[in-house]
């Protein structure tokens, strides 16, 4: 009985940061594995040169792949209502 009373008093609204973090996780899960991987490597601080050595492609090809992956990621985030800076 106490559980139900406590539960009824809870708000169903989530903090915006929580909602956005869930949306980001969902968006990442919808990316092609290669897109997700390169974005996460870049987020971890790897340079285009380092990523080029990993993928055995040129740094400019890495930047091209990153651009495509970022655009796809932003489109997915917008579907979840998360606005992105286009920086």
CATH number, residue 38? 1.10.10.10
Residue 9 lies in a domain: no
pTM, rounded to two decimals: 0.70
For 11, which DSSP code? -
Residue 52 lies in a domain: yes
Domain span holding position 63: 19-79
b/e burial code for range 11-43 (CB count within 10 A of at least 16 → b): eeeeeeeeebeebeeebeebbeeebbebbebbe
Residue 41 lies in a domain: yes
Q: Could you give the number of structural domains in the chain?
A: 1
Residue 14 lies in a domain: no
- Full pLDDT tens readout for the chain, 87 residues: 443 444 344 443 444 555 566 678 888 999 999 999 999 999 999 999 999 999 999 999 999 999 999 999 989 888 877 776 654
Residue 67 lies in a domain: yes
Instruction: Enter the tokens of residue 74.
Output: 């932003």
Residue 26 lies in a domain: yes
């Amino acid at each position: 009985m106490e559980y139900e009373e406590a539960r009824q008093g809870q708000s169903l609204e989530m903090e915006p940061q929580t909602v956005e973090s869930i949306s980001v996780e969902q968006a990442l899960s919808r990316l092609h594995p290669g897109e997700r991987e390169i974005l996460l490597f870049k987020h971890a601080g790897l340079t285009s040169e380092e990523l080029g050595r990993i993928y055995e492609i040129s740094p400019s090809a890495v930047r091209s792949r990153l651009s495509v992956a970022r655009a796809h990621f932003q489109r997915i985030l917008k579907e979840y209502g998360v606005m992105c800076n286009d920086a």
